[in-house]
Structure 1
Amino acid sequence: MDRPDTPHARPNVLCLSGLDPTGGAGIQADIETLSANGCHCLPVITSLTVQDTHNVVRTQPVAVNLLRAQLATLLADVPVHAIKIGLIDNLDNLRLISEVIADHQNLPIVADPVLKAGGGFNFSNNDLVDAYRSHILPRVTVLTPNTDELSALCLDEHDDQAVAASTLMQLGCQHVLVTGTHAQTQDVTNTLYHNNAPAEYWVWPRLPGSYHGSGCTLASALAAGLALAQPLTQATCNAQTFTWQALQRGWQAGQGQALPDRRPTNT
């Protein structure tokens, strides 16, 4: 899809994510991040959630027929320049999303595999993980798991991070950006794995406390860079910089995890 060339136009990024009422993660994180990075978000909600800044209590997937109608109507009208996938907590919706991204394989597709909330709530089960591996991964440009999600998607079969990432790429995923926020290390090391090139590493100072929506922010910022036709390494670096700065400015909306401040750094 060509970049928009009308005055003041911005690339459109289709976001398929859950609704987080705290505004820290999910679709609001996508909207704020994309706006701050020069793109327009096309927000399609996959699931309604009951949650606070501590944890998720329950979820209610959007009915697949409604999701299908939203996507068909939207995509018939608005050009899309990248796709970002977040929470999918229903098999019917997962299969529908896999069909949509299969029809848009010319676009960069960034997938954040939201399997567990920061407070511990499980969004997935074995059937969903299996379906994600077989229906979503083969169509993804960049997957952005943390170390726990990487292990879960590899069915806990590999302790070595590089081997685990290679396993996912063998399933069809083109690149895997593993974030080290969940690793027990002094600094945070993020690693971008490729099929046919050496891995790339970035090391960031570990910030104190815990943050709600860091993964959503990173994946959306990466999708923004790719929608703007940035090379993958540049888009990955820019996305990490934006996310780290948003976390550094994080603030306490409630009594649990801090929320990222995703306003542009010049404001």
Structure 2
Amino acid sequence: MTTIRNVLSIAGSDPSGGAGIQADIKAFSANGVYGMAVVTALTTQNTQGVTGVELVSPDFVTRQIDAIFADIRVDAVKIGMVATAGIAMAIAAALRRHRPAHVVLDPVMIAKGGDRLLAEDAVAAMRSELLPLATMITPNIPEAAVLLGEEEVSERGAMEDAARRLTALGCRSALVKGGHMPAEDSPDVLFADGRATWFEGRRLKTANTHGTGCTLSSAIAAQLALTGDPVEAVRRAKSYVAEAIAASARLDVGSGHGPTHHFHAQW
């Protein structure tokens, strides 16, 4: 491959740099693709929490997306914070027009500090409008429960079944992340092409986990653009994020949930 892939994030802004479009572009760059961003919301936040949100209008979100696709080849799209039903529907309409090869949907609902980032009516819009367009969705256990309208699962068999049933809602593959499991390890399960693949992971004891979901989904989008293989994309992305978390103590950012070290391999 001689041409660098281009990957677009559609998400909210985190001025502290650990999550949102800032984390997405860092993860894109560290994974060897050119990153771009469409902003859906501005937030006032730091490592201790979110204190305010200013939404971008659905029309202006549409105009940003159309401007990118009118001029630039887009090899993959990552969707993060959509905030409202109107923004979700605007994104879906734009993606149906432009038809990117890969779409990774990270159903961002609650920030690491517990702040809600998705309006109630937006859940239904995400489920009906965005999920069927996704190459892969990447919910954690609570997010998977909300999308399925069920109680949270707490064991592996139920995690795998949840991933399978999420694909029945229209997405091509579903990665259910097991960080909320009551266990010493942190397994994730991908259901793709009619079969489940488990990815084992050790639970790292650190407070520096701000933006890990954003970072993982962005790394997956980058690797899908590079490989086109969902299993290989998840494998590479999980390895990258695990190393970014393990190296996070080298950073000195904030006094709450610190960020991962996106450029651990470069710095």
Structure 1 length-normalised TM: 0.92
Give unmatched runs, 5+ long, in structure 2. none
AA aligned to 1:239 is A
**Gapped regions of structure 1 (runs ≥ 5):** none
Judge conservation of contact 2:174–2:192 (CA < 8 Å) in 1.
yes
SS for the counterpart of 2:4 is coil
Counterpart Cα distance in 1 of 2:11 and 2:61:
11
Instruction: Give the counterpart of 2:160 among 142, 148, 162.
Output: 162
Q: Aligned-pair distance for 1:230?
A: 4.2
Q: Judging changes above 3 Å, is the alpha-carbon distance between structure 1 residues 157 and 187 closer, same or farther for their aligned structure 2 residues? A: closer
Match of 1:234 in 2: 232
CA shift digits 1:199-240 (9 cap, x unpaired): 111111111123101011111111111111342211110000
| Matched residue, 2:31 | 37
Distance 1:104 1:179 in 2: 29
Counterpart contact for 2:12–2:21, Cα < 8 Å: yes
Contact preservation (8 Å) 1:140, 1:173? yes
Secondary structure, counterpart of 2:18 in structure 1 = coil
Indicate whether 1:140 and 2:138 are aligned: no
Contact 1:15–1:84, Cα closer than 8 Å, also in 2:
yes
Moved more, 83-92 or 250-259: 250-259
Number of residue pairs aligned between Structure 1 and Structure 2:
260
Pick one of 17, 22, 32 that aligns with 1:28: 22
Aligned equivalents of 1:56 and 1:182: distance in 2? 21
Query: What's 1:217 paired with?
Result: 215
Distance 2:74 2:256 in 1: 36
Which of 175, 179, 182 aligns to 1:181? It is: 179
**Residue 246 (structure 2) aligned to one of 245, 248, 254:** 248
Counterpart-to-counterpart distance in 1, 2:148 and 2:95: 22
Letter matched to residue 15 of structure 2:
P
What is the RMSD computed on CA atoms of the aligned residues?
A: 1.6
The within-5 A match list for 1:49-198 is: 49-157=43-151, 159=153, 160-197=158-195
Q: CA separation in 2, counterparts of 1:104 and 1:75? A: 7
Kept in 1, the 8 Å contact 2:81–2:118? The answer is no
Residue 156 of structure 1: how far off its partner (Å) = 2.1
Q: Which runs of 4+ in 1 moved over 6 A?
A: none
Q: Secondary structure at the match of 1:166?
A: helix
* CA distance, structure 1, for counterparts of residue 99 and residue 174 of structure 2: 17
Moved more, 155-164 or 31-40: 155-164
Q: Distance in 2 between matches of 1:255 and 1:91?
A: 34
Q: How many Å separate the matches in 2 of 1:145 and 1:66?
A: 27
Assess if the C-alpha contact under 8 Å between 2:163 and 2:189 holds in 1: no
SS at match of 2:118: coil
Q: Within 1, Cα distance between the matches of 2:68 and 2:118?
A: 27
Deviation at residue 184 of structure 1 after TM alignment: 1.9
Kindly, what percent of the aligned residue pairs are identical? 35
Separation in 2 of the partners of 1:147 and 1:104? 31
